[in-house]
Amino acid sequence: MRRSLRRALFVIMSSALVGGVAQANDNASGKGEMLADAKQYLAKIAGDKGIGPREAATASETETANYIYDVLLSFGYQVERQEFTVSFKKGAEKKTSQNIIAYKPGRSGKSLVLGAHYDSINAKAGSHGVIDNGASVAVMLSLAKHLSTQPKSEDGIVFIAFGAEEVGLRGSRHFVNKLTTEEQQSFVGMINMDTIVGGDKLYIHSAHNKPYNCQGVPNNYRFDTSLRDELLKVSKEVFGDDGYQLHPDYAGYPAGETGNWSDHAPFACAGMPVAYLEATNFSIVGKDGNDGYSQSIHPKLWSCINEEKLSACDAKSEKKWGQIWHTGADQLNFLNGLFPERINQQMDKSLQLLSAYFE
């Protein structure tokens, strides 16, 4: 009797162990597929043989919008185009850009926005918009694919690819301005992904404690760190001390707070908690101080860097200032040569963080 019981217990425990290993392998395989998908989307959007530069209200921006629309539609989502006009100078011809929006309903009737702009800028300088902001869009698409197979969560997710961010946050401002009061109240927050790869360090920001200039959008400004802090908690659980962090306290930028230069700003102005994922390096004393605009200490991104002071050898003669975005350095082949595996590793971290958060 005892021998039979031991044999039965052995079979049960062995089956559980095998099942657990199989589940772990399935999870690892799923996460690997997410990165592989993100790499594919990034190559199409911003790779050397992909669409490349996607300046606001151009044919290539429209091509990118169509691609994003088709990809999201293929996952089974309800997808919407939200067009708006863009005028670059007073009296100039009005052109068209668009937001691409996909909906994953939840159980509560509430939703959280996950957004990333898909346009780029400064094609004349050679920028292909890899870090700014093709990688963020690639991660969003990969995450949308993964979550399309998952059960409904408590809150829904609204995936938004914003157009014309680089010319005044036009897409995110248009989206917020079109919300009814009821729709605004249905959102529990907004996660913004902008330049999530390339920089030396990974950060999560909240809005600034000093209200943004909310001209042109509803002004119900809210300083709320709750969403940022939730994501930091998840990062700690997933990565330990090797994950995302708050930037230190610097003049004009209290620890973990950021300015109004990306698509989170209109949502903060509308009274929503925001969190902003970014890869940069606030420790660098850049052209205008510790503001995160200098992304890396890599010497090839500087005319001359004083690595002890983390600043230019000579501010007056410095031309590069450790910047990747909006420059000719923002090309996939160049970045992969400069930082072998950094782009992939940082995309993977954002995928792990966000999938853990949404699941």
Average pLDDT, the chain: 92
Residue type, 144: A
- Does the structure show a pLDDT above 90 at 1? no
Provide CATH code, domain 28-358.
Answer: 3.40.630.10
- pLDDT, one tens digit per residue, over 280-304 is 999 999 999 999 999 999 999 999 9
- Does the structure show a pLDDT above 60 at 23? no
Q: Coil, helix or strand for 259? A: coil
Nearest to 159 by CA among 234, 265, 82, 254: 82
Q: Which two tokens stand for residue 112?
A: 């959280």
- pLDDT, one tens digit per residue, over 50-68 is 999 999 999 999 999 999 9
Please, how many CA atoms are within 13 Å of residue 288, restricted to the half-sphere of its CB? 6
- pLDDT, one tens digit per residue, over 310-323 is 999 999 999 999 99
Helices H / strands E in the chain, number of each: 9, 9
How much is the pLDDT for 19?
52
Better pLDDT: 69 or 6? 69
Nearest to 149 by CA among 318, 1, 359, 8: 359
Give the contacts of 190 (CB within 8 A, at least 6 positions apart).
112, 113, 114, 115, 227, 264, 267, 272, 273, 274, 275
What pairing do the DSSP bridges indicate for beta strands 156-162 and 95-104?
A: antiparallel
- The model's pTM is 0.92
Please, how many CA atoms are within 13 Å of residue 121, restricted to the half-sphere of its CB? 12
CA dist., res. 287 & res. 145, Å (int): 40
Instruction: Give the angle 238-242-247 at the CA atoms, nearest 5°.
Output: 110
The predicted model gives 174-182 an average pLDDT of 96
DSSP secondary structure letter of residue 341: T
Domain boundaries, the chain: 28-358
Q: Which two tokens stand for residue 271?
A: 């009274």
Q: In Å, what is the CA distance from 176 to each residue of 100, 111, 117, 181, 217?
A: 14, 14, 14, 10, 7
CA dist., res. 23 & res. 39, Å (int): 25
- pLDDT, one tens digit per residue, over 66-75 is 999 999 999 9
Give the contacts of 147 (CB within 8 A, at least 6 positions apart).
104, 157, 355, 358, 359
